[in-house]
Amino acid sequence: MQLSATYSQTWDLENIFSGGSESSTLVQHLEKLEHELPLLKKYIETLEPTASLASWVDAIQPLQKLGSGLVEARSFLDCLESQNVKDEKAKVLSGKLTQIGATYEAVITALESKVARVPESDWQQLMKSPELNQVSFSLNEMRKRSLEKLPPAQEELAGDLSVDGYHAWSEMYSTIVGRMQVPFEEGGETKLLSVGQLANKMASPDREVRQRVFEKWEEAWRNEADLCAVTINHLAGYRLQLYKRRQWENVLKEPLDLNRMEGQTLQTMWDVVAKNKHRLLPYMKRKAEMLGVDQLSWHDVQAPLPGNKQTLSYDEAAKFIIEQFEQFSPDMASFAQMAFEKRWIEAEDRPGKRPGGFMTDFPISGESRIFMTFSGTPGCVSTLAHELGHAYHTYVMKDLPFLAQQYAMNVAETASTFAEVIVIDAAIKQATSKEEKMVLLADKIQSTIAFLMDIHSRFLFETRFYEKRKQGPLTRDELCELMVEAQKEGFADMLAEYHPHFWASKLHFYATDMPFYNFPYTFGYLFSAGIYARALQEGAGFATKYVDLLRDTASMTVEELGKRHLGVDLTQPDFWQDAMDLLMADVDEFLALTEA
């Protein structure tokens, strides 16, 4: 492969705030936020329900400016803490920013209760005004949210109590996990591993190692199951009690609202998943044969198939990604090229960095940054494309008002998966050997299995657990039973062994900022597959439609997005079925490739 450029693998943060965690401009920026937020809160508290348009604008414009300022600082500090986990100054500033963020939440709560009291006809007039029209979706949400909640004083009390009575359970969980140490023998030596280290070993290509890791893993969580059971029961109990007070019958109300989707859409999506899951079974059978076992175990599902994967240098990966984006959208390609050239990406493989990858945006600068550690594997190339997909999403929205940029998790994962799939499919098509093609296809199908089977089982467990929890706490054994039952259904009874203590081992069940941290992933994956199917049909012309869709992701519900930009009804199965058919074509290709 010919190289056209040499890109730096470290990012440039200087133009955001110069001087890293020593930055005096950052300190000034934080002081300004700290000073202005309480003033805005006071101003909002004086607003009358019949206040003039100008008075409302005087609240909502500064709110957006301060919101952007908070995100700008948060992103910067996340970048500092990720590039160097020992940056103590950044940690201190980050703690300070969290406090400032709490004041911002209080400002939002104050505004919510104010907008709820505006008479309906006045409200309609305000929303039609050119000053507020672009953010009307978000303001309508605030108004609706406030009407569905308890009176402001009670919500404020609940908010104050949640610090130690709700979020504290999530912290408790982190404490339990953080002190866990698991003895594991390797090369004749027994070492104490953290759960993160042990989890990484589950991806070993050696089945004997995986089997041992899996046994140790289950045992480690069994030992902590009492504490985890107390934690999950109380966390859920708090949530249910608050919902009951607000008269929210359905536990899915909050996560559905946060993801701006209807329950019917979610139901239809899962129905289509359940109906099509059996099409993954031939892949699982073939994989079992290739591993020399009768049936896959839990730890085999995501295990790599034996075979060589081609590695790429960073420059080769950049070139490959830009070329593949170009096929679909020249605009997306030139965006990616700019991100490489302007050093928006931190990819260097060096010690002291945080694991994982993310994209974060700077609404004031109108830029974004990507963090990852690049080691040249196809997985790294996918991650890079994934994060560039997120970055492109924020890039096409950068001229919109702050409140019209705040898209939810389900559509965020749509843009990233879309970019990722473009690159993975190209890599599969261009694979030079049968073996390489097979390995890449298997990786892709395993993602499909994760979203359609694993995530489905988490969703089934969590909904059933919350229903039962309404009657009282569940014992650790009941939690395990419920988990295995959900896994059997999720994996269509195809596994030889299940993971009863998964409910204890999965952080997402203990997240308090986003309840039901599962179905938005599957939504994003299938929604992007449906969009990809459409892009393949429509060719080059689809790129502008895609940008229009992305720009609207924080200004309407997903059902409206589907209707306006794709002409589909997401509450009906057709769109989901098309997405499914596209994904299942990979299985057919894999089976043909590995015949005999």
Q: Detail the DSSP E strand segments found in 28-165.
A: none
Of the pair 268, 416, the CB lying nearest Zn ion is at: 416
Q: How far is the CB of 588 from Zn ion (least distance, A)?
A: 28
Closest CA to 84 of 354, 361, 436: 354
Q: Which residues face 359 on adjacent strands?
A: 370
Q: Name the minimum Å distance from CB 413 to Zn ion.
A: 5
Q: Closest separation between CB of residue 242 and Zn ion, Å?
A: 29
Under the criterion CB under 5 A, does residue 416 sit at the interface with Zn ion?
yes
Largest pairwise CA distance in the chain = 76
Task: Convert residues 311-350 into a mask of x (bound to Zn ion by CB under 5 A) and - (unbound).
Answer: ----------------------------------------
Give 244's contacts (C-beta < 8 A, 6+ positions apart): none
What number of CA atoms fall less than 13 Å from residue 474's CA on the CB side? 25
- Using CB positions, name the residue nearest to Zn ion: 416
Q: How far is the CB of 415 from Zn ion (least distance, A)?
A: 9
By CB under 5 A, the residues from 45 to 104 that bind Zn ion are: none
In the complex with Zn ion, the residue whose CB is nearer, 306 or 355, is 355
* Least Å from the CB of residue 425 to Zn ion: 18
Task: For Zn ion, give the closer residue by CB, 423 or 460.
Answer: 423
Q: With respect to Zn ion, which residue has the nearer C-beta, 63 or 411? A: 411
Q: Minimum Å distance from CB 420 to Zn ion?
A: 9
Q: Say which amino acid occupies 69.
A: G
| Least Å from the CB of residue 383 to Zn ion | 9
Q: Are 261 and 541 a contacting pair, CB within 8 Å? A: no
Give min distance, CB of 384 to Zn ion, in A: 12
Q: Find out whether 467 and 239 touch, Cβ atoms under 8 Å.
A: no
- What's the rounded Cα separation, in Å, for the pair 53 and 59? 10
Beta carbon of residue 360, minimum distance to Zn ion (angstroms, whole number): 11
What is the Cα–Cα distance from 445 to 449, expressed in whole angstroms? 6
SS3 of the chain: helix, strand, coil, percent, to 5: 70, 5, 25
Which span (315-323, 411-419, 441-449, 536-544) binds Zn ion, by CB under 5 A? 411-419
Q: Smaller CB distance to Zn ion: residue 114 or 458?
A: 458
Distances from the Cα of 140 to the Cαs of 103, 120, 128, 451, in angstroms?
A: 22, 11, 12, 32
Q: Pick between residue 103 and residue 416 the one whose CB is nearest to Zn ion.
A: 416
Q: How far is the CB of 416 from Zn ion (least distance, A)?
A: 4
DSSP state of 541: G
Point out which span in 198-206, 228-236, 328-336, 410-418 binds Zn ion (CB under 5 A). Answer: 410-418
Q: How far is the CB of 362 from Zn ion (least distance, A)?
A: 18
Task: Pick the closer one to Zn ion by CB: 83 or 416.
Answer: 416
Q: Looking at beta carbons only, is 410 or 416 nearer to Zn ion?
A: 416
- State the Cα–Cα distance between residues 494 and 524, nearest whole angstrom: 25
Q: d(Cα 343, Cα 80) in Å, to the nearest integer?
A: 15
If the CB atoms of residues 184 and 525 are measured against Zn ion, the closer one turns out to be 525
Site string for Zn ion, 360-399 (x = CB under 5 A): ----------------------------------------
| Least Cβ distance, residue 207 to Zn ion (angstroms) | 30
Asked if residues 503 and 487 have their Cβ atoms less than 8 Å apart, the reply is no
Closer by beta carbon to Zn ion, 354 or else 468: 354
For Zn ion (CB under 5 A), the number of binding residues is 1
Burial environment of residue 537 by CB neighbours within 10 A (0 to 12, 13 to 18, 19 or more)? exposed
Determine the Cα–Cα distance for residues 78 and 431; give it in Å rounded to an integer: 37
Query: Taking contact as CB under 5 A, which single stretch among the options 212-220, 304-312, 412-420, 554-562 is the one that binds Zn ion?
Result: 412-420
The span of 214-222, 248-256, 416-424, 572-580 binding Zn ion (CB under 5 A) equals 416-424
Residues 6+ apart with CB under 8 A from 11: 79, 83, 343, 344, 345, 346, 369, 370, 371
Q: Is 125 helix (H, G, I), strand (E, B) or coil?
A: helix
The answer to whether 546 touches 419, Cβ cutoff 8 Å, is: no
Q: Hey, what are 346's tokens?
A: 């931190």
DSSP string covering 198-215, please? HHHHTT-S-HHHHHHHHH
Instruction: Please tell me the distance from the alpha carbon of residue 440 to that of residue 304, in angstroms, as a whole number.
Output: 10
Give the nearer residue to Zn ion in terms of CB position, either 251 or 317: 317
Window 545-584: residues binding Zn ion (CB under 5 A): none
- Taking the least distance from each CB to Zn ion, the nearer of 228 and 419 is 419
157 burial via Cβ count (<10 Å: 0-12, 13-18, 19+): exposed
Q: How far apart are the first and last CA of the chain?
A: 33
Residues in contact with Zn ion by the rule CB under 5 A: 416
